[in-house]
Structure 1
Amino acid sequence: MNKILKWLTLTMLLSIGVLVTGCSSDNTGGNASAGEGAKTINVSLPLGPESHHDAGVQKFKEELEKNTDGSLTVVPHYNNELGGEREVVEGMGIGTIDAGISSTGPIGGFVQEVMMWDMPYLVDEAEQAYAILDGDIGDELAGKIEKQANVVVLGWMENGFRNETNSVRPVETPEDLKGIKHRTQESKVQIDTWEAFGTNATPMAWPEVYTALQQKVMESQENPLATILDVRFYEVQDYLNLTKHVYSPAPLLMSKQLFDSFTDEEQEAIMQAAKVATKHQRIASQDMEEDVKKQLVEKGMTVTEPNLEKFKKAVEPVYEKWAPEIGEELIKEARNTEY
């Protein structure tokens, strides 16, 4: 019995060590690909295992270990274990968190041009978003994020197109959203968008959303289908409305302080692993889409596919207000990107 207690105590101490340290020299334990004394990069994920986020991080881990002969490895921390997205981005900026996936909403507080991705109906297809992110605009945004937030963009993974859910009624037109209590991310553009749709829009930190919907403090939220399933919003929301109002990137980010601590060879290995993982994650995200929709129907959600023209018309004032602030030429270039 004493041996068992000793083993359990050691295991708990090692687990705590992973959580409180940044890039460590501890072995990851049970990972055959990681060498003895491998440096560990702890990565924060908003979602859980087997999510489209996890698909990207697991591929990143696999490629990184392969590229470094196991001297660098990755440990994912799921479901905001290390904090909400804003906390994680801020933590990376000051070097207390290694790496993480975040939506672009919180990053807009550091780099105003990133708020472009909060603009409703900026793109109609995922392929157009990829062309923007993988081209000059994506490079420009990544450079500004690194300079102004002290965070390195390793790759532009995706959340996907966001859709509205609520516990009140199906939505065919913006008029159906009038008066509904809607949760937005902490983004002024998003607040204005949902007010243009007629909701009572309120920003709320991500970890609080499920409980707010459960308690009817909020009645509505919006997210990609994979997130809606992963967070089990079907338990507290009856209606899924395929508004596809925003395409949401989910950049894989790393503390610049940590990134700069690696050798040139390690930095190259990290960037190459992230490039492969980003492509893999996007494919996994798209492959999940139809299956996830079917699962949400099976779990009792009523799915509506509204005509989007009225929604696009409703948010024209958002462009009139925010395009000059974010950059009219930037938005024009993005909307005209060929793919």
Structure 2
Amino acid sequence: MSVGAVTADNFKIAVGDSGGEHSGTLFLNGKFGSEQDTVNEAAIGTVDMSILAINNVTPFSTTVGVLSLPYVILSLEDAEKLTQGPIGQELTENTVNDFGVRIIAWTYTGFRRLTNSKKPVTSVADLDGQDNPYTTNLRYIFSIEPLIVSEQVFQGLPEKDQAIVLEAGQRATQASAQFLRDKEAEIKEILIAEGMEIMDPENNEKEFIQLATEAVWPDFYDSIGGVEKLNAVLAEIGSEPVSE
């Protein structure tokens, strides 16, 4: 199997519990083009798999964009519940039907954090800077990177091998979540020790959330399948529904 859109030099990986029958060669540093290029290549079967930011899947299967709306996901637990439950299954089916690629794993890199060298950011009026992991405790975007496989390649495997690939994907999903849990707090403490000041926004981000839900979400209702689809996502994680 060929796997694109990862960083580092090429190396081989074993695929699940296949006893060495299946392995993958990673093609890294954009050797197959951009992340969106690899979606096209997976769809036609020239790349077997690709791991990429979810916003680069959205142009090909727009309903997946519900997971990248600001302030929909407010915790890693929300992300796990949505991606590993019925919502994630529905989005996977959509990607298969829309563009011939299947999501077999979800990886998580956590919230984008706003960094700023000029002043503390605690309100919307303070905004400037860039977003990275940490420094302001804003939770506007939770980064998810699905691992996709060419549906053409997947359907060409015997059923037992399909099961191996899906099981390997589940393990990768769980390992990614655990890695984030283990490392994010550690990274935060290192940054503080190095002199970074981490601010909490005013009123638990109420102003930011209100702007997102009122000014941003409605622009995407049509592309994600309607407001009822968003409300199904919100219900799954215990958040309040919205109305058109």
Alpha-carbon displacement from aligned partner over 1:287-319 (angstroms, at most 9, x marks no partner): 111112233345554432223112112222112
- Identify the match of residue 272 of structure 1 among 162, 167, 171: 167
- Structure 1 pair 103–301 and aligned structure 2 pair: CA distance change class (3 A): same
How many residue pairs get matched? 232
Aligned-partner residue type, residue 180 of structure 2:
S
Aligned to 1:42: 3
Pairing of 1:187-336 with structure 2 (within 5 A):
220=130, 222-223=131-132, 225=133, 240-298=135-193, 301-307=196-202, 308-315=205-212, 316-326=214-224, 327-336=226-235
Structure 1 unaligned spans of 5+ = 1-22, 24-40, 50-57, 181-218, 229-239
Alpha-carbon displacement from aligned partner over 1:245-284 (angstroms, at most 9, x marks no partner): 1223211111223223322222221111111121111111
Larger Rg: 1
Aligned to 1:134: 84
- Taking the aligned partners of 2:90 and 2:80, their CA distance within structure 1 comes to 14
- Structure 1 pair 110–321 and aligned structure 2 pair: CA distance change class (3 A): same
TM-score w.r.t. length of structure 1 = 0.62
TM-score w.r.t. length of structure 2 = 0.83
CA-atom RMSD in angstroms: 2.5
- Taking the aligned partners of 1:172 and 1:246, their CA distance within structure 2 comes to 17
Pairing of 1:153-164 with structure 2 (within 5 A):
153-164=103-114
- Identify the match of residue 68 of structure 1 among 18, 24, 47: 18
Tell whether 2:126 aligns with 1:176: yes
- Taking the aligned partners of 1:283 and 1:117, their CA distance within structure 2 comes to 20
- Taking the aligned partners of 1:272 and 1:88, their CA distance within structure 2 comes to 23
Aligned-partner residue type, residue 176 of structure 2:
Q
- Taking the aligned partners of 2:172 and 2:232, their CA distance within structure 1 comes to 27
- Structure 1 pair 96–332 and aligned structure 2 pair: CA distance change class (3 A): same
- Structure 1 pair 117–168 and aligned structure 2 pair: CA distance change class (3 A): farther
Alpha-carbon displacement from aligned partner over 1:187-238 (angstroms, at most 9, x marks no partner): xxxxxxxxxxxxxxxxxxxxxxxxxxxxxxxx52x34x2xx8xxxxxxxxxx
- Taking the aligned partners of 1:255 and 1:298, their CA distance within structure 2 comes to 44
Q: CA deviation at 1:135?
A: 1.7
- Taking the aligned partners of 2:181 and 2:29, their CA distance within structure 1 comes to 21
Q: Is contact 1:103–1:159 with CA below 8 Å preserved after alignment?
A: no
Aligned-partner residue type, residue 216 of structure 2:
V
Query: Percent identity between the aligned chains?
Result: 25
Tell whether 2:40 aligns with 1:90: yes
- Taking the aligned partners of 2:136 and 2:39, their CA distance within structure 1 comes to 30
Aligned-partner residue type, residue 153 of structure 1:
I
Aligned-partner residue type, residue 116 of structure 1:
V
- Taking the aligned partners of 2:216 and 2:194, their CA distance within structure 1 comes to 35
SS in 2 for 1:76: strand
Q: Is contact 2:4–2:38 with CA below 8 Å preserved after alignment?
A: no
